[in-house]
Structure 1
């Protein structure tokens, strides 16, 4: 397990505390629609942190070509129809570029600032000159509106139980996912970022915001600096 990360529940648990069987059950939600509206039809997408293909598969159905990357072989075995690559995101060096690079699942909020820098550098070196990077951020109240819960369309009750400071601006977040027949928990470290801090992190990697795709600012379209 990565430091500060753990997970409980049935089935395989990845190094960042994600449960493979849980993510097989969770629906894609609105993410594929947001992505499809922000990029050219038929674009080649590099999906960083694809998991079990929860978003990969709907994108393939919409006619996109997807190269799916994850560090967990257990996750990647569930992906169908996409080229898959098993690698930590920050170490990825494919020697090619893509129309779209996608960094979802709040990965930009990695507790370790050096990991975050590595993630964004990977985005920058794999996006085509005229391409874009799509990033999913945490909502502005992610760490303060706790505890909270919602019922997912799949019938899962998702609870964010706590977000406790552990130093250096990082919180330890504990989440619980309850289905009628199984319960999973995940504890992970997350660094809240203001909009200014987020945009500074992008600039450090040579990226800049093109536009915010959703009113809450959670989904962002970024491009290489100097190409807007």
Structure 2
């Protein structure tokens, strides 16, 4: 697969087209994502996870009784997923010809620097959500692009650092992240477009979605529903 423009990763092991290191994501711990999703989703819901990676969120959801279909473009990522149906392919071209109770678009994918790609990602969400279902979207925090450099030490003993944010084109920044372990360092450089709440909601509206409610105090997790079916 061809590396995406403006995306690059360094470090040992396989690197995906968007610069993600497979071995790195096997080491990263999951945050509060499973709790947020489980609190919003109906018991036993069928969840379509777009961009599952190695299954950091997938596996806790399965343990909570959800039926997960995990989609990723990287075969190396999907090889690490256990207990879920897996589909290899790009999110923007996905058409499973079935619908799900919950469609999950996490990992700040809605902030892609490419406006057309963002529209295609949201179209894929709408295409796969069932009547009465909803889409869960993870947004960037308010100061994601401005509170730089910043870092945090994970309880497991490694450092996650946002080292730099540099403008590269109108409304798009190049972000360099570093993951420093005692034995190895990985980096990822990628492009992202910061979105105000108004811009985010406008993008949803263009795709036929609307905010039902913000799920977290920091408003980074959003429940969105189809406009024509709400």
What TM-score do the two structures reach when normalised by structure 1? 0.99
1:19 equivalent to 2:21? Answer yes
The equivalent of 1:153 in structure 2 is 155
Task: After TM superposition, give the deviation of residue 155 of structure 1 in Å.
Answer: 1.9
Query: Which of 77, 89, 97 in structure 2 is aligned with 1:87?
Result: 89
Query: Which of 101, 104, 113 in structure 1 is aligned with 2:103?
Result: 101
| SS of residue matched to 2:42 | coil
**Unaligned residue ranges in structure 2 (runs of 5+):** none
| SS of residue matched to 2:86 | strand
Task: After TM superposition, give the deviation of residue 28 of structure 1 in Å.
Answer: 1.1
Alignment of 1:25-174 (within 5 A): 25-174=27-176
The equivalent of 1:199 in structure 2 is 201
Query: 1:31-50, CA deviations, whole angstroms, 9 ceiling, x for partnerless residues?
Result: 10000001101000000000
Q: In structure 2, what is the Cα distance between the partners aligned to 1:63 and 1:27?
A: 20
Contact residue 208 and residue 228 of structure 2 kept, 8 A: no
Q: In structure 1, what is the Cα distance between the partners aligned to 2:229 and 2:90?
A: 28
Two-structure CA RMSD over aligned residues (Å)? 0.7
Query: Which of 208, 211, 224 in structure 2 is aligned with 1:222?
Result: 224
1:9 equivalent to 2:32? Answer no
Task: After TM superposition, give the deviation of residue 154 of structure 1 in Å.
Answer: 2.6
Q: In structure 1, what is the Cα distance between the partners aligned to 2:93 and 2:170?
A: 24
| SS of residue matched to 2:141 | coil
Task: After TM superposition, give the deviation of residue 226 of structure 1 in Å.
Answer: 4.1
The equivalent of 1:181 in structure 2 is 183
**Unaligned residue ranges in structure 1 (runs of 5+):** none
Task: After TM superposition, give the deviation of residue 68 of structure 1 in Å.
Answer: 0.2
Alignment: residue pair count: 228
Contact residue 25 and residue 154 of structure 1 kept, 8 A: no
Q: In structure 2, what is the Cα distance between the partners aligned to 1:112 and 1:153?
A: 34
